[in-house]
A and B are shown apart, each in its own frame.
Chain A
């Protein structure tokens, strides 16, 4: 595939050797790069029964098939591994600037196996790929370590760096891998895998060219997108009205297909924090550890406490990931905030704000800005950490945890000082924090309060309420990596118009949010199509917010055809998505992860239902719809295991022999 490098770097950390491996073109044609290449490589090369924190686990850093071709919004990288958090397939996605740097060193992906006996980092440029001593960086937080490494390798091409913080070094199962001082590949415990290998960082300073079949066409598509996004502007100061919008969304008993082409407005103006006030009012955002509806969760007052205008006021400058014209990120100036010693930080994402804010009944924005920087530096996943902290609070409030057990911390709702102290303990594996540093499943197995432990198959769920979105419930429970909110949801599907590029993708429907929603094949093909499109995006290095704009605004098929010199239609690319998805599930089966054992916690099914707010009285039935989702993929309806005829028809058997 002309837009890919055709090779990967394999690093054996036990022997300290690096090998360049050629990847046959059939692989790229079948699964592209990114998560597809990662799934293929890991399925082939990780032996069954491998300990996720042992030498046989392989940690992959995968760029995208379109990364570096000039296609806008293809700057994402995907980390792949066997997850120590769930025991099955693990992946985490991130923006920043690492993705093009991987290809500029000459590889589509870098795979690490083995375990180093001393802390090391990988350095790559045009001429070499070598492991270097990382002892002076071990123990340093992710932000400082990245700055030190950048300084140590300055004087030429700007090095792009992925690094773990204390959390990854401490093998916290909810740690991630950081880039650009505030971006993170956070989920699945990928940071712990990197830490277990004593790999502190990768430093990439190559400048090899990345080819593109029809650069003029790719550029024309990018320029058109850039032009439209550049024109977008939002009148200043309207952040508070998002809460009102949320009220409207919450009142609707059905999900509505809406237009995605203007979603850039929200992200350009506020970034993902735009979602917080909406989510508090609409039912999208979980409140008080998923336990109450909007009125008891603080209502409009809580929503406006997270008015993104407050964040815009202290935003120094917008942050754009590589190749993105939107710039949903930002750097904040915290110097006027007395309660934090930090001066600057990346703007927190919605997930972080919601998880430490409304989820904890905490209306103090500044405390969450502080926690965000703590987690950026530690390299810990805010979704998992927030869910775990809120479990502890609910246990304490219910007498399941005593003050003695919490090392004297009064973990009460809204007590942000205790929240901050607990986060520090988790980062340092200090006392009670040690028991929380591996996520809520293990914490609740030790202390009890399992009814308050929100996790799906071991992974804590993103801040989007399944009771508000039955499609999301399917994705969280039935996907090869559970608990993720980025594979699909109704509002995303409704905005994308996949039916206009894929012959079997149903049009978005207006459907009930509640129990009266009957299981249907239509809904199953909707969730299948959403998942396939997400896999496709992870194969090209594409961003979720490009997906969200819809196929008419972000012309995915045209971009791929122009960059690769191919002439395929949407159905072909959606089949690639299905293939990637199936390999991920095959990985699960190979590694003893049983999809049918994964259940949503009762709370997330509305058992018992909330008594107030937009999700009042909502309960969900998911078993039958999950079965239909698996059936749509050609997997066993009862077990979720890919059927042999599906593996055959997708050509996966042959692909594994390549």
Chain B
């Protein structure tokens, strides 16, 4: 049985463009992770509920290559 994968976000190159948020068909991602990108106050994407179906649309859509699908669910 295939192991279900979940998106893992690494924020070093994330530009908060929201493309992954809008790509998610089930509304599992939103820009709510508060952080600082360099000196800028930005919200970054994160999984915000348990609806993720592991479809990887987010990872495919990210122009900055910030998302990879892994089997470790970060919760």
Contact = CB atoms under 8 A, between A and B. Distances in A.
Direct contact of A and B (CB under 8 A): yes
Interface of A: 68, 70, 72, 97, 100-101, 104, 154-158, 160, 207, 219, 222-223, 226-227, 229-230, 233, 236, 268, 315-318, 320-325, 327
Identify the 3 closest CB pairs spanning chains A and B, nearest first. Answer: A325-B15, A207-B25, A222-B63
B18 interface: yes
B42 A70 contact: no
Given A70-B63, A157-B26, A158-B30, 17 more contacts: A68-B22, A104-B22, A156-B51, A157-B27, A158-B22, A158-B24, A226-B13, A226-B64, A315-B41, A318-B40, A318-B43, A320-B15, A320-B16, A322-B19, A322-B22, A323-B18, A327-B15
Nearest to A207: B25
Given A229-B15, A323-B18, A317 B41 contact: yes
Contacts of B64: 222-223, 226-227, 230
B24 A325 contact: no
B39 A156 contact: no
Contacts of A207: 24-26
Given A156-B27, A219-B63, A327-B42, A70 B19 contact: yes
B4 interface: no
A318 B42 contact: yes
Contacts of B61: 70
Nearest to A322: B18
12 contacts: A70-B63, A158-B21, A158-B22, A160-B22, A207-B24, A222-B63, A226-B13, A233-B40, A268-B40, A322-B17, A325-B15, A327-B15
A230 B13 contact: yes
Contacts of B34: 317
B43 A226 contact: no
A219 B27 CA distance: 23
B65 interface: yes
A482 to B, nearest CB: 34
B38 interface: yes
Contact of A226 (B17, B39, B51): B17
A268 B41 CA distance: 11
A149 to B, nearest CB: 14
A226 B15 CA distance: 7
A223 B17 CA distance: 11
A72 B63 contact: yes
Contacts of A315: 41
A316 B21 CA distance: 20
B35 to A, nearest CB: 10
B42 A317 contact: yes
A158 B22 CA distance: 8
B38 to A, nearest CB: 6
Contacts of A104: 22
B9 to A, nearest CB: 15
Nearest to A324: B17
A327 B16 contact: yes
B16 A323 contact: no
Nearest to B15: A325
Contacts of A223: 63-65
Given A101-B22, A157-B26, A226 B63 contact: yes
A230 to B, nearest CB: 5
Contacts of A229: 15
B63 A157 contact: no
B18 to A, nearest CB: 5
Contacts of A323: 17-19
Contacts of B42: 317-318, 320, 327
A226 B65 CA distance: 11
B17 A72 contact: yes
Given A70-B61, A219-B63, A233 B39 contact: yes
Contacts of A68: 22
A322 B40 CA distance: 18
A269 to B, nearest CB: 8
A236 B39 CA distance: 9
Nearest to B61: A70
User: Which of B22, B40, B64 has the most CB atoms of chain A within a 10 A radius of its CB?
Assistant: B22
Contact of A158 (B15, B16, B27, B65): B27
Contacts of B27: 154-158
A323 B40 CA distance: 18
B41 A316 contact: yes
Contacts of A222: 63-64
A207 B23 CA distance: 7
B36 to A, nearest CB: 10
Contacts of A236: 39
B24 A157 contact: yes
A233 B38 CA distance: 8
Nearest to A153: B27
A327 B40 contact: yes
Contact of B22 (A97, A226, A268): A97
A530 B17 CA distance: 27
A168 to B, nearest CB: 25
A311 to B, nearest CB: 13
A124 to B, nearest CB: 14
B58 to A, nearest CB: 12
Interface in B59-73: 61, 63-65
Contacts of A322: 17-19, 22
A223 B31 CA distance: 19
Contacts of A325: 15-17
B26 A156 contact: yes
A222 to B, nearest CB: 4
Nearest to A327: B16
Contacts of A101: 22
A155 B51 CA distance: 9
Contacts of A156: 26-27, 51
A72 B42 CA distance: 18
A158 B51 CA distance: 12
Contact of B13 (A219, A227, A233, A268): A227
A569 to B, nearest CB: 25
